[in-house]
Amino acid sequence: MSLKIGPWQIETPLVLAPMAGITDRPFRALCRQMGAGLAFSEMVISETRLWNSRKTSTRLEISGEQEPVSIQIAGNEPAMMAEAAWENERRGAQIIDINMGCPAKKVCNRAAGSALLRDEGLVRDILQAVVEAVEVPVTLKIRTGWDRDNRNALSIARIAEESGIQALSIHGRTRADAFRGKAEYETIRQVCQASSLPVIANGDIDNPRQARDILDETGAAAVMIGRAVFGRPWIFREIRHYLETGEILPPPDSDELLQLIPEHIAAIHKFYGPAQGVRIARKHIGWYLARFAHGENWRKRIVRLEHTEEQLNWLSLALESLLGEKSRVA
């Protein structure tokens, strides 16, 4: 089983979801190391005049990244989206992903993200403009519709196929659902049956058996992992192993965790610099420690630290202590 996007053959049908504030370059590299076949960037706004901000410039940083390099853009003006796509291609992006799935109010209030699903004519205009602006493949991420009475993923998929989109990611919730309730996969199955596009199924996938079941149930070409990866990047390895062998891998052992987690935090420090790196690393440390029975006590101490060396030293102490307790890691 593999995923083909334009000239790119993605041998492992596992995709890291684009998540603002999470899927930066260090985290994408770690997830690829752990078995993800493809990792989309954080969402980048389409207004290129605003790209000089620190936040956006770090999101655009792709140097040295494992191929294929995938950048996600968001906006609601076809010409502006086309310009953003072209500029990212010029900078080295090998796949351009269009965000029409984000449910965040600050995105939807600007008539971008999943808000666009309400206007199929504008969807078509944006997709065609972006596809025509670049030579690299263009993909699209959507939800099943605006609300449960207006699930139009089938119609959007048809527009995407006609516009030259190369792959379609679908989150199994509507915009109105946000992240509440359970994701549904019936709409995704319908799109897979009706469209020739490779479909990537997304929503609540958090274990190997579930990933296998969703691939079988929907006919999707791949699954996309989002929130389940927080503090658990090895989930990609676990799913990949299960898809290939039918066996469940044990959690990472102590030696691996003592190396993997500090290396990830150190990579964050290096990428963002000391001050910003310490702040951004806190959430990842919290997610890692939350998988231990007594991790919260250590987290409360570490989040108050302001210096990189202190943060890494206390993190190592925490891991040695928690692993010494033989706490289970999920």
pLDDT tens across 215-247, in order? 999 999 999 999 999 999 999 999 999 999 999
How many whole angstroms from its chain centre is CA 2?
18
31 belongs to the catalytic site = no
pLDDT digits (tens, 9 = 90+) for 54-98: 788 888 888 889 999 999 999 999 999 999 999 999 999 999 999
Asked if residues 188 and 201 have their Cβ atoms less than 8 Å apart, the reply is: yes
Query: So what's the pLDDT on residue 42?
Result: 92
From 49, 44, 53, 50, select the one nearest 21 (Cα to Cα): 44
User: pLDDT exceeding 90 applies to what percent of the chain?
Assistant: 80
Q: How far is CA 39 from the centre of its chain?
A: 6
In the predicted structure, residue 181 carries a pLDDT above the cut 90:
no
- pTM score, two decimals? 0.93
Whose CA is closest to 214, among 246, 245, 189?
189
Q: What percent of the chain has pLDDT over 70?
A: 94
Among 4, 61, 3, which Cα is nearest to 27's?
61
DSSP 122-165: HHHHHHHHHHHH-SS-EEEEEES-SSTT---HHHHHHHHHHHT-
CB 146 within 8 A of CB 176: yes
Exposed / middle / buried, residue 52 (Cβ in 10 Å: 0-12, 13-18, 19+): exposed
The single residue of 31, 102, 108, 192 carrying the catalytic annotation is 102
* Per-residue tokens: 261: 């987690």
Tell whether the torsion through CA atoms of 46, 47, 51 and 56 is positive or negative. negative
pLDDT class for 179, splitting at 50, 70, 90? confident
Cα angle for residues 110, 112, 114 (degrees, 5° grid)? 125
Looking at residue 326, its pLDDT comes to 54
Q: Predicted confidence band at 106 (pLDDT cuts at 50, 70, 90)?
A: low
Q: Given this model, what pLDDT does residue 108 score?
A: 43
DSSP string, 45-57: ES-GGGTTSHHHH
**Over 70: is that where the pLDDT of 110 sits?**
no
Question: Any residues with CB less than 8 A from the CB of 149 and at least 6 apart, and which?
Answer: none
Distance CA 125, CA 106 (A): 22
* Average pLDDT value for residue range 149-172: 95
Nearest to 17 by CA among 206, 202, 156: 202
Nearest alpha carbon to residue 44 among 63, 68, 62: 62
Asked whether the predicted pLDDT for residue 151 surpasses 90, the reply is no
3-class SS of residue 26:
helix
User: What average pLDDT does the structure give for the chain?
Assistant: 92
pLDDT tier at 329, thresholds 50, 70, 90: low
Higher pLDDT, 52 or 42: 42
Does the pLDDT of residue 134 top 50, yes or no? yes
- Number of helical H runs and strand E runs in the chain: 13, 10
- Looking at the predicted structure, is the pLDDT value of residue 107 above 70? no
With bands split at pLDDT 50, 70 and 90, how would you rate the model's confidence at 177? confident
- Check whether 284 has a pLDDT greater than 50: yes
The label of the residue with tokens 């041998």 reads: 11
